[in-house]
Structure 1
Amino acid sequence: MRKLLLMAAVAVFGLSNVNAQDENTTGGFAEGDVFATGSISFGSETFADEKLNQFTFNPSVGYFVSENIAVGVSLGYMSSKSEDGVSDDIKVSALTAGAFGQYYFTPGEQFSFLVQLTAAYTSGKTEVGDAEAKNNGFIAGFAPGISYFVSDCLALQANIGVLSYQTTKPDFDGAESTDNFNIGLNLTDINFGITYKFN
C-alpha cells in the first residue's frame, strides 16, 4: 500500500534544524527520562475497481526505569474502508491498549539500536452494509529498531515488526478464536515514529 506518512514532514523539519543546535547537543536518553512517541499514517490503494483507504494513529508514553530499559503504555486506532461501487462497502475499525518494554544498546548517544517487546488488547468491528460483527483479541510482538536524535529533545524512530502473535475471537456465543503467527521482513512491516523527550 502506498503510505503517506505525516511524520515525514516533521522529520524534514527536524533535520533542517539540526545545524541550529549546539554542536555538543546530541540528545540521548538517561535513567528517569520521560518520553512520548507517536506515529500517524494514511494510505490509499486501488485494485482494479476496488479502492482501499486506511488510517492509523498510535501514541505512547514511556519512562526509563534504568540506564538501558524503558517501559510504557500505548494506545492505537485503525480504520479502513473498502469500496468497489457495486457491493456494500466494508468498514473495519479497531482500538488497542497495551504496554511495551524497550532495551536501548547505547541510550546516551545520538544514535542507538533497540529492541522492543509489546503486548496489547484489541477490540474491533467490521461493518458490511447494515451487518456488523465485533471481535476482541490479544497481540504480542518483538521488533528491533533504531533511534536517532535530530535535536536535544526530538528523535526519529523506526521499528521492523519481525515477530508477532495475534489471537482474535468474534464477540458472540459459541465463537472460536483464530490464532496467527507472523514473521515480517518486508518494507510494509517497517513502522516510523517521532519521539519527544521531556526535559
Structure 2
Amino acid sequence: MKKVLLFGAIVFFGAVNAQTEKGTWMVSGKSEIAFNSTNAKAKLKGQEVSEIKTSTFSFAPAAGYFIIDYLAIGVGLNYTNSKVEDSKSDTFVIIPQLSYFFPVTGEVKPYVEAGVGYATNKTTEGNADFKLNGIAYGFGAGVAYFVKPNVALNLGLNYSALHLKYSENKDFESDTNNLGLGIGISVFLK
C-alpha cells in the first residue's frame, strides 16, 4: 500500500510540475470585478482639462506558450465597455506579454507577468465621436492554485496604463492608470 501511495504522489507531483514545462500551452481568462480604482486625466497642450474616476468591469483572455520551464510568452486581449452619464466608451487592448511561474512544489504557484502593446478607444459624447490610440503596458503578480493538474484558479494584483492620443488632434492626450484585483482561470495543455 505504501508503494502505491508513493507512486501516486510521484505521478501527481509530476503532473502538477508539468504545467509550467517547456512546450506547454496556457489559456486563461481574467475578470476584474468591482475591485478596480481607475483615475483618468485628459490633457490639451499639456494642460489638464478633465479628471474622471470610475469603476469598471473588464474581461481579459490570454494565451501563452512556455518557451522554457516556468517562462511563457503570449498575448493578452482586453475589451472594456463603460458608460458614465451621457458618455460611452469602448476600449480594446492587445498586449504581448511574459509570464513567469516560480518553481515551487505543491498546488500553489506564485507568478509575475508584464507586457507592452497597443490600445484603441472610441468615446461617444452626445453626437460626437472621439477616436484615440496609443501605447498600453501593464504588470502584475499573483498566485495560481491548481485545483486539477491542468486547471488553475488565479488571484492577482494588476497594474495597467494607457497613453492615448486623439487621432484628429495630437495635442489631445488621455492617460489612464488602473490598479485592480483580478480573478480568473487558466488551463494548461501539453
- Between the aligned partners of 1:98 and 1:119, the Cα distance in structure 2 is 5
Aligned-pair CA distance for 1:55? 4.0
Report how far residue 40 of structure 1 moved: 3.7
Question: Which position in structure 1 is the counterpart of 2:139?
Answer: 142
Post-superposition shift, 1:53?
Answer: 8.3
Higher strand share: 2
CA contact (8 A) 1:55 1:78 kept: yes
Q: CA deviation at 1:177?
A: 3.5
**Corresponding position of 1:91:** 88
Q: Deviations over 1:132-161 (max 9, x none)?
A: 111112121221111110012110112212
- 3-state secondary structure, aligned to 1:161: strand
Compare CA radii of gyration and give the structure with the larger one: 2
Equivalent-residue separation in structure 2 for 1:66 and 1:117 (angstroms): 17
Matches within 5 A, 1:1-199: 25=12, 27-28=16-17, 29=19, 30-40=21-31, 54-83=56-85, 89-106=86-103, 109-162=106-159, 164-179=160-175, 184=179, 189-199=180-190
SS in 2 for 1:155: strand
Residues 30 and 61, structure 2, Cα contact 8 Å, conserved in 1: yes
Distance in 1 (alpha carbons) for counterparts of 2:122 and 2:60: 18
> How far 1:103 sits from its partner (Å)?
1.4
- Identify if the C-alpha distance between structure 1 residues 65 and 107 changes in structure 2 by more than 3 Å, giving closer, same or farther: farther
Equivalent in the alignment of 2:42? none
Q: Percent identity, aligned pairs only?
A: 27
Post-superposition shift, 1:166? 3.0
TM-score between the two structures when normalised by the length of structure 1? 0.69
The 4+ residue runs of structure 1 with deviation greater than 6 A are none
CA RMSD of aligned residues (A): 2.6
**Distance 1:159-1:169 versus aligned 2 partners, 3 A rule:** same
Q: What does residue 48 of structure 1 align with?
A: none
Specify every segment of 5 or more residues in structure 2 that has no aligned partner in the other structure, as ranges.
1-7, 35-53
Q: Which structure 1 segments of 5+ residues have no match?
A: 1-21, 44-51, 84-88
TM-score (norm 2): 0.72
Task: Tell me: CA distance 1:54–1:104, structure 2 relative to 1, closer, same or farther (3 Å).
Answer: closer
Deviations 1:106-155 (A, max 9, x none): 26642111111111211001111211111112121221111110012110
Q: Which amino acid aligns with 1:64?
A: F
Encode CA deviations 1:151-196: one digit per residue, 9 max, x unaligned. Answer: 121101122125x44311111134343456x584xxxx21111101
In the superposition, relative to structure 1, how do residues 60 and 107 fare at CA in structure 2: closer, same or farther (>3 Å)? Answer: farther
Decide whether the 8 Å contact of 1:62 with 1:70 is kept in 2.
yes
